[in-house]
Structures are given as C-alpha cells and as structure tokens.
Amino acid sequence: MKKILLIVLLLAGCGVGRLLAQVTLQVVSKNVEKTVPWKPGMELIVNGEKADVTVVPTDSAAISVSAELSAKHPSLDTAQTDVNTWQLVVNTVGKKVYIRAYVGVQAGKRAPVSNMRAQIKIKVPRQCAVNLSNRFGKARLEHLDAPVALNGYFCRFDLFALNGELKVESEHGSVDGKELKGPVDIKGKRADVTLQQTAGNCSLQTEYGSVHFYTDTQSGNVRIAAQMTDITLSGLEANSHNYRLKTRFGNLDVPDKFDKSGSTDKARTAIYQVKPESPSIEVETSFGHIKVEK
C-alpha cells in the first residue's frame, strides 16, 4: 500500500513538475490579406523578419498575400499592444511588387517584448521572378518557373520544383532543395545545404557547414568550393558524372575505384572518370571532409 501511495505521489509530483515546466503564452494575432495585380515582367520582392514565408504558384494574374501577424506573451495586454506594431506593406513601384513585414516601433514608444512571429503565404504567377530576404524564420518556395533570388540570415530555406535560375545566400540557415531545374548558385555560411534532383549546373560556395549533394543522370556540372565544410556526395551508382575531389587538412572517404594517386601531404585528391564528355563534380574544401557514398 505504501508503495502504491509512493508511486501515486511520485506521478503526481511528476505531473506538477511537468506543469511547472511549461509556460502558457497568450497569442494575439491579426490577419491581413492584400492582392495586387501582376503583369508579365514584374518582379516580387519580399522582405521579412521573424517570418515563415511560403511562396506558391497561382494561375491568376495577381499576387496575393495572406499574413497572420502574431505576438506571444504571458500577458494578454502586452501581446495585444505588441501585435499592433506589426506592419505589412504591399505596394507596386514600377515593375516591382514589394511585400514587407516588419515590426515598426514609433519614436518614444517601447519596443515589443512579445515573441513576434509572422506567417505569410504569398501566391504568385509562376512566371513572376521572386527576390526574397528573411531573417530569423523560414521560407518555402515551390513550383515557380521564373528566377528566384534568396537571402537569409537564420532562415531555413525549403525549395521545391523551381525551374528558373536560383541564387541563394544563406547565413546560419539550412538550404534544402529538391527538383531544381535551372542553374543553381548558392553561397552559404554556417549553412547546411542539401540538394537533390537538380537538372542545371550548380555552383556552391560554403563556409562552416555541410553539403549533401545527390546527383543523378539529370544533374549538370557541380562545383563546390568550401572551407570548414564537410561534403557528402550521393549518386555514384548512376555512373553519370566525372569526379575531381580535393581537400586540404581533411579526410577523403571514397570508393576504391577512385584514383587517389595525386594526394600529397597537404592535400588529398581523388579522381574518377566515367566518360570525358560526362558532366563533372568538382569539389575543393579545406579543413573539411569529403565523402562519396557507395
């Protein structure tokens, strides 16, 4: 009986402990929806902060924005005051449509103390070029045919089925891309980059991060110039690419069929050639490891 009582008390204690280990936040949010007309040749420029942005295609000749702008705080009054500092600006200047979500604090008023978050869903015509920058959030773009340029700081990029030219600059934010058909240019710093099913040529420059590149028969040339970056290459079984790998002050983990005879004390190299005319994967890193998955 004492044991049962002890267990009950223990469980109750755990329950209380669990409750104490949680904080209830009052979430006050405002929804904003805006639509602007779009004509071919117009470009969308998105500037977000603390925002989770989703860009999806639409068949209509308009760009529409649906945003939930929220403030989270244990005090309802505080959250309610802070949510009003959110601003969503949508305007067209010439051939550029600007969408900007930001926390605007008027002079003399206190800055928000709540956790401010924005969920922004943007629908754009597939042919609309997109230029997006975001800090401290996420961005997902999918099924677009026009060029896309991205800039992120602590922003995780999730990219799917982008058919136009893609340029990404990301610091402290991962980049996951799948089915990228156009040429890809990624500059990453402390960013983990994962690319699958690419069709165009890809160029990556990375520092302090990791790269995982899946190549297949559709993939074009791949160039990776890296520092302090571990690089993993998958897709060797497709036998579609020539490999030229080099690391300074790092390990090289490649199948036996790779030619490592060019290695020196300072740099390790590995070469594998399928056909001279095949697209190539060229990787050069320092203080990072290169691994080719079998």
Partner 1 sequence: MEQNRENLQQAIRQLPEYQPPAGLWDTIAGELDFDQTLEKPLQELPVYTPPADLWDSLAARIEQAPELAPEKGIRPAYKWLVGLVLMALGVWVFLPVAPPVAPASIPTTPAQSAEPIALNNQPQQIRTTQTNNTQKKAVKPTSKPRLAHRTEVVDDALIMACRSAEDPNYDLVETLCKEALPVCEEPQFKQLKAEFDDLTQAHTALKNALGQYADDPDLVSQLIDIEQARDQVLQQLMAMM
Residues lying near partner 1 in the complex (CB under 8 A): 21-37, 50, 68-69, 72-74, 76, 80, 83, 87, 89-93, 113-117, 135-136, 138, 153-154, 156, 171-172, 190
Nearer to partner 1, 37 or 40 (CB): 37
CA distances from 192 to 107, 187, 198, 230 (A): 39, 11, 17, 9
Taking Cα atoms as reference points, which of 178, 185, 183, 180 lies closest to residue 205? 185
Select 10 or 76, whichever has its Cβ closest to partner 1: 76
Coil, strand, or helix at residue 162? strand
Q: How far apart are CA 190 and CA 236, in angstroms?
A: 26
Minimum gap (Å) between residue 8 Cβ and partner 1: 24
Query: 141 with 130: CB under 8 angstroms?
Result: yes
Cα–Cα–Cα angle for 106, 110, 112, nearest 5°?
95
Which residues, 6+ apart, have CB-to-CB distance to 211 below 8 Å?
Answer: 188, 192, 193, 194, 195, 204, 224, 226, 229, 230, 231, 232
State the minimum distance, in angstroms, from the CB of residue 260 to partner 1: 28
User: Cβ 209 to partner 1, closest distance in Å?
Assistant: 11
Instruction: Using the minimum distance from each CB to partner 1, give the nearer residue, 117 or 246.
Output: 117
Residue 28 or 292: which CB sits closer to partner 1? Answer: 28
What's the closest the beta carbon of residue 204 comes to partner 1, in angstroms? 20
Distance, in Å, from the CA atom of 48 to the CA atom of 138, rounded to the nearest integer, reads 10
Q: Which is nearer to partner 1, 83 or 231 (CB)?
A: 83
Nearer to partner 1, 171 or 284 (CB): 171
137/231 Cα distance (integer angstroms): 25
